[in-house]
Structures are given as structure tokens and as C-alpha cells.
Amino acid sequence: MVYPMVLLFGSVAVVVLLLTVVVPRLTKFFAQTGYELPVITRFLIALSKFLTAYPILTVAGAGLFAWLVWAAFKTRRGKNILFTIASRLPLSSKLIHRLSVTRFARTLGTLMTAGLDILTALQITAEAVGESRYQRVLLQAHTEISRGVSLNNVLRSRPDLFPHLVVSMVSVGEKTGNLDNVLKTLADFYEEEVDDTLKSLVSLLEPLMLVIMGVVVGGIALAIILPIYQSVGNIR
């Protein structure tokens, strides 16, 4: 994530430099022409005037907004909202699902190897998995297993959360009495899947951020060039 973050801060720095240094100097020129400016140029000038007139307020507002977002996502409700949003985005949904399955398999397998019974292990795993939908299924599994239902049958009822491979392997582990080792094998497999998905996601972020940066800077350049081109055309 280092390179995408460098791109992000670089693009923000370029935009701030254009709005606080370049645009104010051109504003006087635009005012002297007396021509009606395009909407995008008027918006850019208004934004530039606000940033140059209230720099401390702008920085403080941006810092406060960042802190509020960070604090919100530190709460349980905020985390649930973040997971819900991420699980619906095309780029991150696969990563969220695989990460949740990995946490489920690794935590439950480790706890059972340590000698905990499956009911206690499921309670702890439900808290450790992080994602609210998986947490609800695991708590449901705790209730169902206490009534005699097998774990694989509970997982089978949620194919949107637990792939067929997981359900099949858990079924084999329950039948052979080797569920803890099966879960560890699943965790190893899905950890590799998470690593591959994360690498693909980061590789997609780089060109995506370049495109966004190009659109923003290009929009600012267009807002500056349009009135200049209009002025030159009127002179001719």
C-alpha cells in the first residue's frame, strides 16, 4: 500500500498547490476580461478563495473529519458498517469473505487443538471473526450444535458465506473426528487465497488512483484553460 498512498498524497498536494497558488493568480486575469466564466471555473475560483481565506479552518476541518471517521470505525457499529460496505464492493467483497473464512477456520481449529470443546470454541470464534454476518451464523451454530445438529449442516445453510469446499471439508472432519486438523488445513489454503486476492487488489488500486488523479487534475486544467481559450477567441 506504500505506492498507492504516495500517489494519494501526491495528488492531494498537486491539487492544493493549484488551488492556493495557480488559481488565485489567474483569478485577477479572469476578472479583467469581463467575460462570463464557465460553471466549472466559477466553482474552482470559489473553492480557491475559501482555501486561501480560511487555511486553518480547512486543515482543522479535514483533520476533524478524518478523526471522526477513524473513531467511528473503531466502534462495533462502525466496524459492521465498514464490513457491510466493503462486502458489497466488487473489488473487496471476495477479500472480505476469504478473510472471514480464514479467521473462522484458524481460530476454531486452534481452540479445538488446545482442548476446548466445540461449543466454547464457537463462542470465542464468533467474537474473533469480526464480520457480523459470520458472527451471527457461528452463534446460530452454537445453538444448533447444542441441540444435536452437526456443524457442516449449519454452514451448508449459508452458501453465500461458506463455500462448498469448506462445508465438505468440515463434514469430513466431523465424520473422521479430525475436525481441528481439517480446519487448520482450510485456514492454510484460504490464507494463500487472501494473499493472492490482496496482491490483485493492490495492483488494481495503483492504476485506479492514477486515473482518479488524472481526472481531478485534468478537470482543474480544463477549468483554467476554458476561459483563457474563450478570451483568445473573443480577441480574434
Does domain 93-195 fall under CATH 1.20.81.30? My reply is: yes
Task: Report the distance separating Cα 90 and Cα 102, nearest Å.
Answer: 20
CB 217 within 8 A of CB 11: yes
Residue 42 has pLDDT above 60, yes or no: yes
According to CATH, where is 1.20.81.30 located in the chain?
93-195
pLDDT averaged over the chain?
Answer: 81
Q: What does 121-163 look like in DSSP terms, one character per residue?
A: HHHHHHHHS--HHHHHHHHHHHHHHHTT--HHHHHHT-TTTS-
pLDDT at 189: 92
pLDDT by residue (tens digit) across 5-20?
777 777 788 888 888 8
Angle formed by the axes of helices 23-33 and 179-235, nearest 10° = 30
Stretch 96-122: mean pLDDT: 88
pLDDT by residue (tens digit) across 156-183?
888 888 888 888 988 988 888 888 899 9
pLDDT band at 209 (very low <50, low <70, confident <90, very high): confident
pLDDT by residue (tens digit) across 62-88?
788 878 877 776 776 777 777 777 767
Please report where in the chains the cell 476554458 appears, as a residue. 226
pLDDT by residue (tens digit) across 46-59?
888 888 887 788 78
CB 108 within 8 A of CB 121: yes
Stretch 22-33: mean pLDDT: 75
